Every structure is written in C-alpha cells, then in structure tokens.
Structure 1
Amino acid sequence: MSERETWTSRVGFILAAVGSAVGLGNIWSFPFQTASNGGAAFLVVYLLAVFLIGFPAMLGEFVIGRRSEQNAVEAFRSLGFGEWSVAGGLGVVGSFVTLAFYSVVGGWVLSYIVGSVTGAYLGDPGAYFGAVSAGPIAVATHAVFMALTIGIVALGVTDGIERATKVMVPAIFVLIGGLAVWVSTLDGASDGYSYYLSPDVSVIAGDLAGIVPSAVGQAFFTLSLGFGVMIAYSSYLGRDDSLPADGSAIVVVNTLVALLAGFVVFPVLFAIEGAVPESGGAGTAFTALASAFSQIPGGQAIGLGFFVVLLLAALSSSISLLEVPTSFVVDRTGYDRTPTAVGLGVLVAIAGVPTALDTGILGWYNDVVFNLLLPLAVLVIAVFVGWVADDQLAEELDLGSSFGDDFSTVWLWWIRIVIPVAIGGTLLLGIQSLLVKAGVLSAPVILG
C-alpha cells in the first residue's frame, strides 16, 4: 500500500475545500432557489443556516477527518466507533447519487459553452435547452464531464485535486466578480438588487415549511456537508492547522461566491425581463439566463464568460464528490488510485444515464438529496460528535487553534443541542415536502 497523500500547504486545503463548496449549488441553484422561495426572505434564512448550522457542522466533519486520518467510512472505525460508520456510508451514497445527476447538469454547461461560441441558443433558448438537456446529446456531454472529473481525481490529492483547484477557484472569483461589475451598468439592474436585498419577513412567516428545508438543504449542498467530502479532505490535513480558522475562511468565501452569483443573475433578469421566474424545473436557470443573454448587447460574450465560470465551479465540486468513494476504496483495499477512480467514475456515469434521458428523474434525485440524504447524514454526524465521541473531538478542534478552549466548549454544546434540534426539524419538513410532491400528502401538515 502506498503512503497516504497530504495537502502540500494550508492554502491548498482551503482552496480544495472552497472548490468543493463553490459549485453548481452556488451559481446554478442558489439564485433560483432564492427566486422560488421569496427572494431576499430566502436569502436571510439561508445565511442563518450557513453560519449557525453549516459552520459548526463543518467543524464536526473536520475533527473526525483529521483525528482519524481516514476516509468518511473508515474514520469512525479508526476512532473506535465502527458501528457509527453508517454516517460515513450515508455520505458515500449521497456523493454517488449526487454526482450521478450533478454530472448531467455539468454536461449541460458544456453544451452552453459551445452554444455561446456558436450562438446556437440565442435564437430560441427554450428549444436549445430541450435539445441538449435530455437524450443522446445529454448522455454524451454527461460522459465528457465525467471523463474530466475522473482524470483530475485519478491524478491524486496533490497533483490532481489541489493543483486543479488552485487554478479554478481564483479563476471563478475573477470571472464572476467581473461579470457582477459589468451587469451593474445595465438599465434596470437596481430593481434586481432591490429584489435580492430587501427581505419581506411576512414571506418567511407565510411559507416557513417550504423555505426552511430548502434553505438548510441549500446550505448543506453548497458547503458540501453530509457527503463525507469534508471528512475526506480534512483527513489529509496537518495537525498544526487551525480548523476553526480554515472553516471560517471556507464558509465566508463560499458564501461570497453565492452572493456574487445573485449579483450577476438578478440584475440581468430584471434588466431584460423585469422579473425572475418564480417556479420551474432544473433548467430554469439555463433558459432564463440564455434568453436574457440573447437580448443584451455583447450577450454572447457575457454568456460565454458565465458558463465558463459555471463549468469551473461544477468541476471543482464534482472532483470532491468522486473523491469520497475513491478514498474509501483506496484506504479500505489498498488498490491504486487511478484504476479505482476510473472504475467508480464509470459506475457513476452509468448511474447518471437515466437522469440524462429524463429531467424529471434528475429533479427527483435532487429532491431526495436536498430533503433527505444530506440532513440525515449531518444529523447523525452531529449526534456522534456531540454525544458519542466524548471530548476527544473537542480536543482535536483546539489543536493549532488560537480561538481558545472557550470556543471548543461552546461549539461542543452547540453541536450537542442546537444542531440536532435544528436539523431534526428540517429533516421532518423535508420528508413532508417529499411526501407532498409524491402525492402521499395533499398539503403540508407541519407548519402548514
């Protein structure tokens, strides 16, 4: 068995973790989750979820990973709690299922990059999405996107993941920041800012059962929580790094990218359409933005820049999703990384074919991950960290940290009490939402 890899630098770890967090969830999903859940009202709940639930939960995954120096499943066995490895197993399953549909959306991005170069979607954006989102073209682009993902993961932690994210994450910031500045010059952009930044509290009160699970699920998705990613990534981390400081940097940078995405999307839509679509399927972002780009002077070039950002974000997350099952198999069996990554990547590609043929299946996968798998996995990990692992993980949080013992004490009680209650309630709301969509319930019962 070859020696286990580590990050070459603290910056490498932070950029890799940021790359995992900064993905389609920030730039594709976040603006339209915001639009379909009350605009700025959703933004308020989302930000609360990120900092009050997501950040402490991320630290929980960090301490498990670094303490064990193992993948998401073996970590619990290494710590002496093998029966709790089901929590890591949920992460592996969640990563596999998510990547099976995520890679299809990544394939759509490839089609839109081509469409931006050729101008193919400018004439009829709706028809273009219909042509590339389901069927042979979608299967082909899904396969190409998975091949890119497999290639990076197969190269390893330092030569593949770390090197790629050191390029992709800064590029994402430069490109999306430039786009945000440019769209601010559009007539009507101010209406988009107002919609995005002026919350109506009555909207939150009127649809709490819908907004809360969507916001918390979005927070988990964009922070890569519940997938086992942060356990795997932190397992390659040195003992002298400050986990609270690193986690803070990751959360802040991830949130900034999501906010910047809103500063691009909403001004564009309000400048051209005068509003945003309040409902729609997985392709709403693509059709709405493509329609807007088709009407903006220089929109073809702006569209190309936007979809390149989207591709970089998609790849930076997809490599982390494939790394979770890859690290599990490599650590458990000692198999070489390259054939393991290729084999698992091919399995994911095959599993994703149904979602490439039917966007309805893709939407169902997305709902199950958001409303069930992620909150369940994070809840189990929180219970383990807070009530089962004693104080050894709180001690791990103190290593290399200048935050002091008081921080780890407050964090431990927060993850013992607040996190399980918050996620437990969110999980119930999420299950209710799934049952309503499936027709089992005619209307919400909890907070309905």
Structure 2
Amino acid sequence: MQTSEQWSSKIGFILSAAGSAIGVGAIWKLPYVTGISGGGAFFLLFILFTLFMGFPLLLAEFVIGRSTQKEAISAYRSLAPNTNWHWIGKLGVFTSFLLLSFYSVIGGWILIYFAKGMFGGVISEGADYGSVFNTTIGDPLIVIIAQFVFLAITVVVVANGIQNGIEKANKILMPALFGLFIVLIIRSLTLDGAMEGVKFFLAPDFSNITSQSVLFAMGQAFFSLSVGVSVMVTYSSYLSKKESLIQPAISIVSMNLLIALLAGLAIFPAVFSLGLEPAEGPGLLFVVLPAVFDQIVFGEVFLIGFLALFLFATLTSAFSMLEIIVASLVKGKQEKRTKYAYIIGLLIFIVGIPSALSYSVFADILIFSKSLFDSADYLVSNILMPLGVLLISIFISHKIEKSTLREELLQHSRLGATAFNIWFFIMKFVIPLVIIIVFLDVTGLLDKLIAIF
C-alpha cells in the first residue's frame, strides 16, 4: 500500500533527513570516537568513507524508497516479490529498535544536563566535570526517568505524523543548531593552546590507525548518515516523484560533514587547552562543554541554549529511528500511527534499561570487556549497519533492473550516463569488497588468507 503522507517541500525533506543523519552521530559520537581512534587520520578516513560509500548508499536507499513509495519492508517486498530480500527491511527495523534503545539513554543524559543548566547546576568554578558526569550517569533512578522522558517526546512527535510532527520540528531546529555551533567554535579556538587540538583533529597521523580504527571509521560514516538501516528508504518514500534525488543527497552529506567538522573544531581545541583527555570516551562531550562555557561570559546561558539545540538534534535522529519501525507496522494506514508509536516507544524503553544502568547497577556486567551500553553501540555501528549496507549494495545492483535504477536516479537531474555508471560500479563492486576486506582484517582472517596465497 502506498504511503498516504508526503513531505510538504523538498527543504522539509532535506532538513528532516539531515536531522536524522546529524544528531548524536556527528555531535556526540564522532568527537569521542575520533579521540579514541587517532585523531586526524581517523577523521580523514571518516570523510572518505562518507563520500565514497555513504553518499552512494544514501542514493541507493533513496531510489528504493521513492520508486516504491512504501516503507522499508514493503519496499523490498515490492521490488523483489516472492523472495526473502524483504528481510533487509526487517534487519533495518531491528537495528533501529536496538539503536534507539541505547540512543535514548544519551538523549536522557542531555535532558539531565539541560535540566541542571536551567537551575544553574552545571557550571561551577573549579569543578571536576569528569566526576560530575560519572556521578550523573551513576544515578539509576534519574537516568531511567530521563530516558523515559526523552522517548515520550519522540513518541509524541512521531505520532503526529510527517508534516505536522517531524518536518515542522526540523525546519526550526536545524538552522538554530548551526548558529550556536559557530559561537562555541569561536570561543573554543580562542582558548590558550587551542591549536594543538586543531592539529590533533585535522593533521593525519596514520601511525595510530589500526584495522579496528578503519572499522570504526566505516561504521561512523554509516551511523552519521543513517544508512544501512533503511531509515532513508522510509523517509524518501514520502518524497514526491517530481523531486530530484541527487540534490537532496548532496545537501544531506554536505550538512553532515560540515556539522562533523564544526563538532571537532568546537571540542578538540578545548580538550587540549583545558588539559583534558581526548580518549575520554562516551562522556567526552559532557565533560568538555561545561568546561568551555565556563570560560565564556554568560556561559550558563549559552550552555543551556546549546544543550537545548543538542537535545533537539538528538530528537531529530530519534524521530527517524522510531518512524521506520512505526511505518513498517502502519503500512500507510495513518489511523494506526498513534497506537503503534506508543506501543513501540514503551518496548524500546524497556529494552534500553540495561544500557541506562550500564554505569551503575550493571556496571560489573561486561560483554567482551565492553559495558552493556558499549556492546549495544558496537553491535549496531560496527556489525549490523555494515551488514545492512552490504545487503543493500547487493540488492540494488543485482535485483533491480539497471534501466529502472538509471531512470529513477537521473530523474530531474543534470547528471548523465557516466555519473550513473560510476555510482553503479561503486554499489556493485567497491562497497561489498571494502566491507568484506575490513571485516576479514578485523577478525584476523585477512592475514591468514594472505599467508595462504
């Protein structure tokens, strides 16, 4: 059944898709993963993976969604009837469910800091912000309540649909986020010793790169663009057939890379200036932000503003994750949207409780030396997303007629056959090969194969 809702405008689609892509991926995760993975060399790899794998994959998901005008599971079933390829959509729904279960925990952390900021409880002279963060996430009752509130907000917006919920929120929030980022960067770059942070972030040092770093960079590129989980299949299904697919994809990738650059320039100069540790981990942003705003006149006010926008950016990503799940159940019957949004939201909250308690009640429970929170993150970012990407690349290049792909991709576009052939070659050969090589290298099988041959 065709979806009954559509974006009211191309800019609404671009901002919503960009909001899905940016969120926690670029602002929270990229700085801390860059910090633990070698700095500039990792960021360069992230850019390359984004441009040469993320961008083509984004277009692929757009083609699948817009050509069928259906949510993820139905879209694959429509393009490959009487086959099992619709399991790609189901994998995307499962991945989004798991992703939102620990993502909502981060959203809860932001809510806690925002609430503290409103009452002047974040910035204090001489404070050890690392200890403050550990104490904050170590309170089991508070983090669970905050996670619940974050999911409740997400559910209410998604229950209201595409135009009145997701699109309307993103049109206001995304431009405001860019503006406040500029303020933060200006202050961060003017701190003493800030250039050491810039050098760490932008000057590649490949001596720190390992196969695990390459996997992280690839996973981060997919995570930041929300590809591999068919979120963009669902979002593009609401896009009018009259719109080009190329221009929105370019805009989304450009905005994502810009925010990633801004996040790094805001965080790492401050990290080095204030003598903090770039490999701080998931709490990096929550340690650095109060320390930076502590150096600014009216810092508490600016911090509250930034936390508000960071919260909204996080919510825009949460909207897309919940939307793919709800849309797969609603299947165009919008009268069911509210019921399913609330049911799924409650289930995600329950599944996310172990991640929320990873730094308190369940702190001693480790999976391969990782906390429950980190394990869920690793499974989604470095296994399920690359697997989804591999399957999508195989599907798009082997199960859909090349003429259909060419027509859908080049519609309302100035690009010609050469650009299409390059895109198709990347989808058919480059992406599957790179993913397989990276996985073989991480597991140690690549060295064994090389030794054999």
Check whether TM > 0.5.
Answer: yes
TM-fit CA distance, 1:72? 1.0
Alignment correspondent of 2:105: 104
The 8 Å contact of residues 3 and 237 in structure 2, kept in 1 or not, is answered as no
Task: Return the alpha-carbon distance in structure 2 between the equivalents of residues 289 and 3 of structure 1.
Answer: 41
* Structure 2 residue runs without a partner (length 5+): 360-370
Alignment correspondent of 1:438: none
Q: Does 1:312 align with 2:312?
A: yes
Q: Kindly report which structure 2 residues correspond to 1:35-434, keeping only aligned pairs within 5 A, or say none.
A: 35-81=35-81, 82-121=83-122, 122=124, 123-134=127-138, 135-204=140-209, 207=210, 209-273=211-275, 276-278=277-279, 280-294=280-294, 298-331=298-331, 336-359=336-359, 360-391=371-402, 392-429=404-441, 432=443
TM-fit CA distance, 1:192? 1.6
Task: Return the alpha-carbon distance in structure 1 between the equivalents of residues 184 and 418 of structure 2.
Answer: 42
Task: Return the alpha-carbon distance in structure 2 between the equivalents of residues 16 and 212 of structure 1.
Answer: 29
TM-fit CA distance, 1:180? 1.3
The 8 Å contact of residues 87 and 380 in structure 1, kept in 2 or not, is answered as yes
Q: Which stretch shifts more, 392-401 or 154-163?
A: 392-401
**RMSD (Å), alpha carbons:** 2.3
Flag the 1:288–1:264 CA change in 2: closer, same or farther, 3 A. Answer: closer
The 8 Å contact of residues 272 and 295 in structure 1, kept in 2 or not, is answered as no
Q: Which stretch shifts more, 10-19 or 192-201?
A: 192-201
Q: Which stretch shifts more, 70-79 or 353-362?
A: 353-362
TM-fit CA distance, 1:446? 9.1
The 8 Å contact of residues 62 and 245 in structure 2, kept in 1 or not, is answered as yes
Flag the 1:429–1:25 CA change in 2: closer, same or farther, 3 A. Answer: farther
Identity %: 39
Task: Return the alpha-carbon distance in structure 2 between the equivalents of residues 177 and 425 of structure 1.
Answer: 39
TM-score scaled to structure 1, two decimals?
Answer: 0.91
TM-fit CA distance, 1:426? 2.8
For residues 357-377 of structure 1, the C-alpha deviation after alignment (integer angstroms, 9 at most, x for no partner) is 114211110011111100000
The 8 Å contact of residues 225 and 253 in structure 2, kept in 1 or not, is answered as yes
Alignment correspondent of 1:437: none
Flag the 1:64–1:343 CA change in 2: closer, same or farther, 3 A. Answer: same
* Structure 1 residue runs without a partner (length 5+): 434-440
Task: Return the alpha-carbon distance in structure 2 between the equivalents of residues 2 and 33 of structure 1.
Answer: 39
Amino acid at match of 1:71: E
For residues 119-165 of structure 1, the C-alpha deviation after alignment (integer angstroms, 9 at most, x for no partner) is 43443423432333241100000000001100110000111011111
For residues 342-396 of structure 1, the C-alpha deviation after alignment (integer angstroms, 9 at most, x for no partner) is 1111111111111111142111100111111000001000000012212122321
Question: Number of aligned pairs?
Answer: 433
Q: Which stretch shifts more, 98-107 or 182-191?
A: 182-191
Flag the 1:301–1:188 CA change in 2: closer, same or farther, 3 A. Answer: farther
Q: Which stretch shifts more, 369-378 or 183-192?
A: 183-192
Amino acid at match of 1:142: Q
Amino acid at match of 1:8: S
Amino acid at match of 2:386: P
Task: Return the alpha-carbon distance in structure 1 between the equivalents of residues 382 and 289 of structure 2.
Answer: 26
Flag the 1:203–1:356 CA change in 2: closer, same or farther, 3 A. Answer: closer
TM-fit CA distance, 1:221? 0.4
